[in-house]
Structure formats: structure tokens, C-alpha cells
Chains A and B, each alone.
Chain A
Amino acid sequence: RKEVEQDPGPFNVPEGATVAFNCTYSNSASQSFFWYRQDCRKEPKLLMSVYSSGNEDGRFTAQLNRASQYISLLIRDSKLSDSATYLCVVNFNTGGFKTIFGAGTRLFVKA
């Protein structure tokens, strides 16, 4: 089982739609969590951290469920510019600090 798993998609949604991605992680000692977005042939850019209480940044909402070991990202009112690959990132400190990236979920927002 991969340490961090994401549905690769692609998710094809119309503008204005709400779309949600999940990411599961296997290490219960995971400490911090993030969502990054990566545009084609570009570097990943931090989208938001994920806090235990859940957090929101404009149209984006991130949530963490430690009991079930998953994090989620909800995008409301999708824009064309949201088209990208969304990467789930998990940090844990077991035998040394490690950062694990999920393989990403591809999102296409259509006009």
C-alpha cells in the first residue's frame, strides 16, 4: 500500500461546479498535511495547509480526519484557472522526518 494515495482522476467539471478530492495516508504518526497545486511543467505551489479543525481559504476548504487517516480538499465555484494537478502532502517523523507527496489528482474545469 502506498504511503499517500490519491485518485489520479481526471476530474472534468464545468465552471461553477463544486469538486472534492480525498487523499488517504497510511502512517498514523503523520504530523502535518498540505495541498499543493502543480500546473503542467511547472513546480508545485503551496495551496494550503490542513489543520485538524479544518480550514478555509476563499473557495477552498481543507479538512483532516485523523481517525480515518484522510484529508480532503473542496473547491467551490470552480474557475477555468483551477485546472491543475492537486498534490496531497503528508509529513511524518518515524525514524527520521519524511515528506511524502501523493501522485496527484488532475482537475479540468471546462467553460
Chain B
Amino acid sequence: EAGVTQSPTHLIKTRGQQATLRCSPISGHTSVYWYQQALGLGLQFLLWYDEGEERNRGNFPPRFSGRQFPNYSSELNVNALELEDSALYLCASSPDWGTGGAARTNEQFFGPGTRLTVL
């Protein structure tokens, strides 16, 4: 079974430009999560999409945005890039969160990441 895939592997941009990162979840998974991991730091939650809707976002400015497509793949857009946006951006997927308020274990499976460098 194919895992989570991300593209591109590496991305180099300059300050003020826009970056678009892509993620394809594991087949059958409907939830996609985006995280930022700056060098030497922990994972910071960015965004969560489920069934095409943004369900939650972390403490990041609005220039970080994204969307989820009908096939559950997702795109992360970062506008007006700043030097401190340089980081590894990780995408994870998990099975359907479900409805009715039932708690789910929500195990997340990660892609290899996109390393964004802002010059």
C-alpha cells in the first residue's frame, strides 16, 4: 500500500515569493494534517483538513493557507515568504475522523516532507 506522498522534495524560494506544497494521503484516508518543523525544533501544527473542509488551524498567520481536494489530496500555500519560513513541512493523513462525536484514535501517518528554503 502506498504511503503518504509529498511534492516537491525540496523547494527554494526567495523572500516575498509564494510556495505551494502538495500532499497525497494514504488511500482511504480522508484527514490531512500539515506541520512545520524548523531545524532543531519540534513539529508545529499548521492545518487540519477533513472531507474537504478546514477543521482547525494552529497559531500561524493567515499567509499560511491550504485546501483539500475531492480526492482528499491537499495543498499548502505560503504567501509572502519570510526567511523564518524555512523548514521541513510534513503532511500526515489519518482515517475518517467520523461523525457523532465518537472519539477516534487518530493515528497519523507522515509523508517524507518538503524541505522549503527561503533565501
B103 in complex: contacting residue of A32, A99, A102, CB < 8 Å:
A32
Instruction: Check if A42 sits within 8 Å of B112, measured CB to CB.
Output: yes
**Binary contact track B76-119/A, C-beta < 8 Å → 1, others 0:** 00000000000010100000010000011111111111000000
Instruction: Check if B43 sits within 8 Å of A97, measured CB to CB.
Output: no
Majority DSSP secondary structure for residues of A touching B: strand
Instruction: Check if A99 sits within 8 Å of B110, measured CB to CB.
Output: no
Complex: chain A residue closest to B39, CB-CB: A41
Q: In the bound complex, how far is the Cα of B40 from the Cα of A84, in angstroms?
A: 13
Instruction: Check if A100 sits within 8 Å of B56, measured CB to CB.
Output: no
Q: Which of A26-48 contact B (CB under 8 A)?
A: 31-32, 34, 41-46
Instruction: Check if B43 sits within 8 Å of A44, measured CB to CB.
Output: yes
Interface residues of B (CB under 8 A from A): 33, 35, 41-45, 48, 55-56, 88, 90, 97, 103-113
